[in-house]
């Protein structure tokens, strides 16, 4: 062993510095990542605590985990979960139903003023819906949709539609024009062009569009809080109801927050790549 | 709209706008109409109704319904110190959160742009705050994280001489902003990271060969390249953050006093506690007018950003 010159095995000082630098920055990145994740981890940990172990000083890291809080959460969550599922699914389907043809008319087979159309849609995202909340309430009362799941569906569809149109359009622009020309030569009409040629090609794009819509609809609180009471109250409302006026509630709240957040967290984790494209409304590929 | 003219993206399939017949033009419009009508009805009608109510005296809890009251709601809005306060706070909260989140986002994107062990996992951990339901995030921060008596943050900060600080009463505005930053940094990071990864590697190689230092390369090559991405992140972040409601409602309920009351929460209070539909409507109209002024600039920026993006594709 000693016969081999030690120096030849060691990386040169330059290389060594580079490598340790790499490792060092890697550690920094890990620390930052864990720090950002910490509140989420703490939420999940607290959810498994008995209430008595959740409110201690110093905070307890070792305890006998219990599912009691989750049982409590699941027993009360039923209607809220149903409302959230309906509002999220139906609004997302409506968004696709309206958004696909609209995106088509703004990209593949564009109207003359397609730019104005695009910007009209996005400008509605900039109008703060909070500004109209009082009148919205009055309108809801008049059309008998207050505390109705249909009201949330209608509003969530309008909330997500502009985003979806921009996003679907960006996917449609990527459909090879040879495909479209071939279909037209075959005499395909507009509907067959959309359903038979474009939709199969952009289906991954439609999935990521749907995921973005699902995330925003699932997490929405402001409209639900103002316009629903019991018949259409969604998961964010359930969360609020899990904070009682008195008594210990931290563990219960954490369990409820975990259950409410996990679906979207999982969806987001799975769809990381398309998340960027969706959040930038198709601007970033 | 002259604003829109710089968005120059020729559609893939050739359009012969001049040559198309009336019938053809309508056929092109048809697929757009359902979405267009839907959005006009659902998003514009409430604002028209808001405009109407802003000239009405109408309280939910007073029988007799609405009656015309001229400009008195507007007078009330402009003399209401709470409205002005909420307006200023909205601007402060949004600007601080967007700027800090963007600075952190750029920093973390640079970290994540390097190859290191477990990069995918760290990226996944980093984006999670953005995915947490905002209502859940607000409640978890308000309770398990920031509680003065058993909160995790006080325990973590103990070595630094922090003892049972009641963050939500002593640093309410800061706490809310921290939660906004925590939720939106991942968003900024994702967008900037996409920008970094779209930078052609040969340009960076060439800079290295030419002997440019890391800072010079970043300042003169990377940052200009990132500019449209940063603008896009700021713009989209601001659109969402100016409407932040969940964190305010669930962490501080606008308080203590009105120290964390932003515009959305102010409007919410006007309707839900003061039952003042007319007053809230007038405040809403003023908010919308201010938004339109800001949005005009924002749209201009949008046009520029998207032109850059699509010209590249």
**Residue B310 banded pLDDT, cuts 50, 70, 90:** low
> Is pLDDT at B312 greater than 90 in this prediction?
no
Beta carbons of A169 and A282 less than 8 angstroms apart: yes
A219-233 pLDDT, tens digit per residue, is 999 999 999 988 999
B264 neighbourhood in chain A, CB within 8 Å? 128, 130, 222
- pLDDT (tens digit per residue) in A119-155: 899 888 888 888 888 889 889 998 999 999 999 999 9
Q: Which of residues 64-123 of B touch A (CB under 8 A)?
A: 108, 111-112, 114-119, 121-123
| Contact status of B289 with chain A (Cβ, < 8 Å) | no
| Cα separation, A108 vs A129, whole angstroms | 31
Contact list, B239 vs chain A (CB under 8 Å): 125-126
Let me know if residue A63 belongs to a domain.
no
Q: Which residues pair with A204 in a beta bridge?
A: none
Element (H, E) at B67: strand B67-68
Could you report the per-residue pLDDT of B53-112, keeping only the tens digit for each? 899 888 877 777 778 888 888 998 899 999 999 999 999 999 999 999 999 999 999 999
Is the residue at A60 inside a domain? no
Residue B276 sits at φ, ψ, to 5 deg, of -95, 85
- The verdict on B300 touching A (C-beta cutoff 8 Å) is no
Tell me, what's the pLDDT at B10?
46
Tally of domains in chain B: 1
CA distance A173 to chain B (A): 6
- Is A259 part of any domain? yes
Q: Say how far residue A119 (Cα) sits from the centre of its chain.
A: 23
Determine the residue among A135, A225, A238, A259 to mutate to test chain B binding: the one whose Cβ has the most chain B Cβ atoms within 10 Å.
Answer: A135
For testing contact with chain A, the best of B34, B133, B296 (most A CBs within 10 A): B133
| DSSP string over B141-197 | IIIIIT-TTT-HHHHHHGGGT--S--HHHHSHHHHHHHHHHHHHHHHHHHHHHHHHH
Of the candidates A225, A227, A245, the one whose C-alpha atom is nearest the C-alpha of residue A236 is A225
- The pLDDT of residue A13: 65
φ/ψ of residue B67, rounded to 5: -140, 155
Q: Is the CB of residue A16 less than 8 Å away from at least one CB of chain B?
A: no
Q: Which residues pair with B21 in a beta bridge?
A: none
Q: Which residue has the higher pLDDT, B37 or A24?
A: B37
Of A121, A130, A240, the CB nearest to B267: A130
Which is more confidently placed, B170 or B70?
B170
Residue B239 has pLDDT above 70, yes or no: yes
What is the per-residue pLDDT for A145?
93
Tell me how far apart the alpha carbons of residues B238 and A124 are, in angstroms, rounded to a whole number: 15
Residues ≥6 apart with Cβ < 8 Å to A11: A19
8 Å CB contact between B130 and B186 = yes
Contacts of A23 in chain B (CB under 8 A): 116
In this structure, are A136 and A264 located in the same domain? yes
- Domain membership of residue B98 as a residue range: 2-312
- Same structural domain, A22 and A83: no
The pLDDT of residue A210 is: 93
CA distances from A57 to A180, A255, B168, B251 (A): 66, 20, 18, 21
> Residue B262 is part of a domain; what is its CATH number?
1.10.3720.10
Pair of tokens at residue A223 = 């409209």
In a domain, A185, yes or no: yes
Mean pLDDT (chain B) is 86
Q: Establish if A198 belongs to a structural domain.
A: yes
Q: What secondary structure letter does DSSP report for B56?
A: E
Q: pLDDT band for position A12 (50/70/90)?
A: low
pLDDT per residue over A150-198, tens digit each?
A: 999 999 999 999 999 999 999 999 898 888 888 888 887 888 888 888 9
Residue A82's pLDDT band (cuts 50, 70, 90):
very high
Identify all chain A residues contacting B304, using CB atoms and an 8 Å cutoff. Answer: none
Cβ–Cβ under 8 Å, residues B116 and A25: yes
Instruction: Say whether residue A241 is in contact with chain B using an 8 A CB cutoff.
Output: no
- Which A residues in the span 36-75 are in contact with B, Cβ-Cβ below 8 Å? 36-40, 42-43, 46, 54-59
Residues A94 and A41 in one domain: no
Q: State the residue range of the domain holding A87.
A: 75-279
A18 vs B: CB within 8 A? no
pTM of the prediction?
0.88
Q: What is the pLDDT of residues B8-51, one digit of tens each?
A: 454 545 445 556 788 888 888 999 999 999 999 999 999 999 99
Same domain, A13 and A120: no
A232 in the same domain as A148:
yes
| Cβ separation B42–A110 shorter than 8 A | no
> From CA B311, how far away is CA B77, in angstroms rounded?
45
Same domain, A124 and A236: yes
Could you give the count of Cα atoms lying within 13 Å of A8 in the half-sphere of its Cβ? 5
> Shortest CB distance from A109 goes to which of B9, B28, B298?
B28
Query: Cis link prior to A184 (omega < 30° from 0)?
Result: no
Please give the mean pLDDT across all residues of chain A.
88
Q: How far is A126 from chain B (nearest CA, A)?
A: 6
Structure tokens at A226: 């103002």
Average pLDDT over residues A109-113: 87
Determine which helix (DSSP H) or strand (DSSP E) holds A89, and give its type and residue range: helix A68-105
Structural domain tally of chain A?
Answer: 2
Residue A284 lies in a domain: no
CB B54 within 8 A of CB B70: no
Establish if A243 touches chain B: CB-CB under 8 angstroms.
yes
Say if B49 is an interface residue toward chain A (CB within 8 Å): yes
At residue A6 the predicted structure's pLDDT band, cuts being 50, 70 and 90, is: very low
Pairwise pLDDT comparison (A19 vs A119), residue with the higher score: A119
pLDDT of B183 reads: 96
Cα radius of gyration (chain B): 24
Residues 6 or more apart whose Cβ sits within 8 Å of residue B118: A26, A30
Question: Which of A256, A235, A268 lies closest to B130 in space, CA to CA?
Answer: A268
ipTM for the predicted complex: 0.88
User: Which candidate from B38, B118, B313 shows the least CB-CB separation from A98?
Assistant: B38
Q: How far apart are CA A230 and CA A219, in angstroms?
A: 17
Q: How far A221 CA sits from the closest chain B CA (Å)?
A: 7
B157, A65 Cβ separation under 8 angstroms: no
Q: Which residue of A has its CA nearest to B310?
A: A283
Select the highest-mean-pLDDT range: A3-7, A39-43, B67-71: A39-43
pLDDT at A188: 78
- B195 close to A (CB below 8 A): yes
Cα distances (angstroms) measured from residue A177 to each of A11, A172, A192, A225, B13: 53, 10, 16, 46, 6
Partner residue facing A107 (CB), from B11, B29, B195: B11
**B220-239 residues touching A, CB cutoff 8 A:** 229, 232, 236, 239
Phi-psi region of B275 (alpha: psi -120 to 50; beta: other; left: phi over 0): left
d(CA B257, CA A234): 29
* Within-domain flag for A285: no
**What span, in angstroms and rounded, lies between the C-alpha atoms of A268 and A271?**
5
Task: Verify that A24 and A119 share a domain, yes or no.
Answer: no
Q: What is the mean pLDDT of the segment spanning A189-216?
A: 90
pLDDT at res. B9: 54
- B194: nearest CA partner in chain A: A284
The residues near A234 (Cβ < 8 Å, ≥ 6 apart) are A80, A83, A84, A87, A152, A220, A224, A228
Q: Per the structure block, which two tokens stand in for A283?
A: 């601007």
Alpha-carbon gap, residue B305 to B302, rounded angstroms: 5
Confidence (pLDDT) at B3: 32
Q: Which residue has the higher pLDDT, B7 or A263?
A: A263
**pLDDT confidence band for A2 (50 / 70 / 90):** very low
Tokens describing residue A142: 């008049």
Chain A interface includes B38 (CB < 8 A) = yes
Asked if the Cβ–Cβ distance from A161 to B35 is below 8 Å, we say: yes
**Contacts (Cβ under 8 Å, ≥6 apart) of B2:** none
Q: Taking residues B176-196, what's their average pLDDT?
A: 95
Residue A267 falls within a domain, yes or no? yes
């Amino acid at each position: 062993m000693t016969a081999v010159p030690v120096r030849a095995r060691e990386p040169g000082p330059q290389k060594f510095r580079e490598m340790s630098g790499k490792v060092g920055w890697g550690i920094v990145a890990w620390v930052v990542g864990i720090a950002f994740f910490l509140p989420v981890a703490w939420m999940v940990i607290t959810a498994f605590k008995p209430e008595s172990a959740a409110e201690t000083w110093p905070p307890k890291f070792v305890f006998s985990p219990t599912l009691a809080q989750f049982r409590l959460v699941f027993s009360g969550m039923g209607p809220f979960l149903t409302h959230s599922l309906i509002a999220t699914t139906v609004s997302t389907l409506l968004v696709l139903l309206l958004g696909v043809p609209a995106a088509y008319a703004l990209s593949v087979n564009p109207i003359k003023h397609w730019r104005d159309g695009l910007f009209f849609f996005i400008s509605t995202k900039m109008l703060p819906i909070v500004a109209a909340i009082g009148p919205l309430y009055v309108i809801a009362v008049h059309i008998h949709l207050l505390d109705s799941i249909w009201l949330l569906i209608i509003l969530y569809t309008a909330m997500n539609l502009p985003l979806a149109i921009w996003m679907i359009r960006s996917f449609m622009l990527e459909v090879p024009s040879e495909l479209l020309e071939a279909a037209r030569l075959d005499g395909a009409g507009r509907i067959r062009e959309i359903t038979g040629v474009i939709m199969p090609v952009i289906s991954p794009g439609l999935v990521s569009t749907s995921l973005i819509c699902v995330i925003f609809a699932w997490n929405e609180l402001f409209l639900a809080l103002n316009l629903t009471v019991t018949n259409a109250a969604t998961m964010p409302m359930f969360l609020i109801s899990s904070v009682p006026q008195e008594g210990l509630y931290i563990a219960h709240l954490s369990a409820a927050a975990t259950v409410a957040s996990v679906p979207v967290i999982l969806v987001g984790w799975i769809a990381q790549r398309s998340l960027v494209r969706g959040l930038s409304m198709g601007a970033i590929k | 709209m002259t604003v829109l003219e710089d968005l120059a993206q020729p559609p893939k399939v050739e359009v012969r706008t001049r040559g198309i017949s009336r019938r053809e033009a309508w056929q092109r419009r048809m697929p757009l109409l359902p979405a267009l009508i839907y959005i006009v009805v659902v998003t514009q009608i409430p604002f028209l109704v808001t405009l109407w109510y802003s000239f009405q005296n109408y309280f939910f809890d007073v029988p007799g319904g609405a009656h015309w009251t001229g400009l008195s709601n507007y007078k009330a809005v402009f003399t209401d110190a709470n409205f002005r306060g909420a307006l200023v706070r909205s601007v402060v909260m949004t600007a601080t959160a967007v700027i800090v989140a963007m600075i952190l986002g750029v920093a973390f994107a640079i970290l994540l742009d390097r190859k290191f062990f477990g990069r995918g996992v760290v990226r996944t951990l980093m984006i999670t705050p953005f995915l947490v339901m905002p209502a859940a995030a607000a409640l978890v921060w308000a309770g398990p994280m920031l509680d003065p008596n058993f909160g995790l943050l006080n325990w973590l900060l103990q070595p630094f001489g922090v003892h049972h600080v009641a963050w939500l009463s002593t640093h309410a505005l800061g706490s809310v902003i921290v939660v906004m930053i925590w939720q939106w940094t991942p968003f900024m990071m994702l967008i900037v990271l996409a920008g970094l990864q779209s930078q052609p590697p040969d340009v960076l190689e060439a800079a290295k060969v030419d002997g440019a230092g890391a800072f010079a390369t970043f300042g003169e090559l990377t940052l200009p390249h990132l500019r449209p991405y940063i603008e896009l992140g700021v713009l989209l972040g601001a659109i969402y953050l100016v409407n932040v409601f969940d964190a305010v409602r669930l962490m501080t309920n606008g308080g203590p006093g009105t120290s964390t009351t932003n515009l959305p929460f102010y409007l919410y209070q006007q309707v839900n506690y003061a039952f003042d539909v007319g007053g809230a409507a007038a405040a809403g109209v003023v908010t919308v007018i201010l938004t339109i002024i800001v949005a005009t600039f924002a749209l201009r920026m949008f046009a520029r950003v998207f032109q850059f993006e699509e010209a590249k594709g």
